[in-house]
Amino acid sequence: MPEVSVHVLKSLSAEARAKLLTRVEGDLGPFMEKAAPIIEAVRTEGDAALARFAQQFDKSPVTEDAIAATPADFDAAFDSVEREMIDVLEMAVDNVRRFHEAQMPTEMWMKEMAPGIHCGERSSPIPSVACYVPRGKGSFPSVVNMTAVPAVVAGVPLPIIVTPPGPDGKVDAATLVAARLAGVERVFKCGGAQAVAAVAYGTQTVPKCVKFVGPGSPWVIAAKRLLSGMIDPGPPAGPSESIVLADETANGRVAALDLLNESEHGPDSSAYLVTNSQRVADEVLAAIPGYWAHMGDERTGYSQAVLCGARGGIVVCETMEDAIAFTNDYAPEHLQVHSKSPYDYLGALKNAGEILLGEHSAICLGNYALGPNAVLPTNATAMTRSPLGVHDYLKLTSIAHVTKKGYDSLAPQVRRFAEYEGFEAHANAVSPLREKAFNGE
């Protein structure tokens, strides 16, 4: 059995420490090179290319006339998914919906900046969005909840779902159930770089959209970068990553369960336990093999590739200050704090897509059902980006109204500003020429 990687922070060189911070999506060059011809094929051939790539990459017998899921497909999905699972999906959709309804901003606000000068903002939904639901290493109706529900809450007129087809040529049944529960019934069978291209350009079947959201493989990320001039690529959301931050009060066996959470997504994931306690580190190391024994061969293989490789394992620090500094530099997608007093560290934790406090706040609870969005910024973009939310489906428009009184007080100052910058038309627009224009002179 492979050994979990252990990194003693104080003994690492600056180069070795920096290497721990890298993710697989850090070097997209090879993916972008290979994604470019796929994108071009979809642009020129449309549905024919989507069907060909479904057969080539997904090993799925999709034909040009069967790219869209039909109403009968949705009905069949409800018949095939067990009632208990439908109940679970309904619960999750309800929690996610209620959280995002609370997140909705005021439709419009105005404030009097000075007498006669009123300014504010109006929020309105974007016209369309493609929600990507991956499938390569499993099926993920949970991603439908996180991407489609806020789109519907925000009032997007055209929300669609794109997802890779299965080996039977169909969309995962639970994904269709979740889509209908979320309020989206336009689902299309395409994944990877070809899905991004399909919604960026539009095909005979797939509508062109203005934005693309959802987590994806490096192929998806590469295509989003290549097509960023054609479609808003949405928040960055690549392969899964996590840090379990544990102090000396943590239970190592419990922390090990949460460390394994993101490590099983795939060999391109990243997962670290970061601790100042050698005891906790030893408990985690002792517990992991037993937990692997409770997993299937495929997921165990993914987990071992991560935790025993260069992008995962245990980072042992001298102090919690060092552990927190490493965590902030890493800026993880998921961060869970294992401590008897987790709020003691909250103020110092600056960079993370989500922060889950305490040993009962398992990462998987957030993945599925807590309510906050689980599509989170990856590859250290949590330093500047936020979780997916209704704001990603809305746009703000500045609103202003100036009365004659407000104009008279502000115009001379703006005229002087414009003259300083050398913009003569700007200056003329707030000069005596305006009064003459009102008077027909």
Q: What angle do CA 143, 333, 323 make, to 5 degrees?
A: 155
- 164-206 tens-digit pLDDT: 999 999 999 999 999 999 999 999 999 999 999 999 999 999 9
CA gap 424, 327 in Å, rounded = 52
Per-residue tokens: 176: 């269709």
In 10 A of CB 84, how many CB atoms? 8
Over residues 50-106, the pLDDT tens digits come to 999 999 999 999 999 999 999 999 999 999 999 999 999 999 999 999 999 999 999
- pLDDT (tens digit per residue) in 306-355: 999 999 999 999 999 999 999 999 999 999 999 999 999 999 999 999 99
Task: Report the first-to-last Cα separation within the chain, whole angstroms.
Answer: 90
The answer to whether residue 252 scores a pLDDT higher than 70 is yes
- The secondary structure of 268-327 as a DSSP string is T-EEEEEES-HHHHHHHHHHHHHHHTTS-HHHHHHHHHHHTSTTEEEEE-SSHHHHHHHH
- Average pLDDT of the segment spanning 217-224: 91
Residue 273 β-bridge partners? 244, 314
Residue 213, helix vs strand vs coil: strand
Phi-psi region of 240 (alpha: psi -120 to 50; beta: other; left: phi over 0): beta
How far CA 60 is from CA of 39, 76, 80, 139, 141, in Å, comes to 19, 19, 20, 15, 19
Supply the residues annotated as catalytic: 333-334
What is the Cα–Cα distance from 120 to 413, expressed in whole angstroms?
21
Spell out the domains of the chain, with CATH numbers in brackets.
Answer: 29-117+127-235 (3.40.50.1980), 238-386 (3.40.50.1980), 403-438 (no CATH)
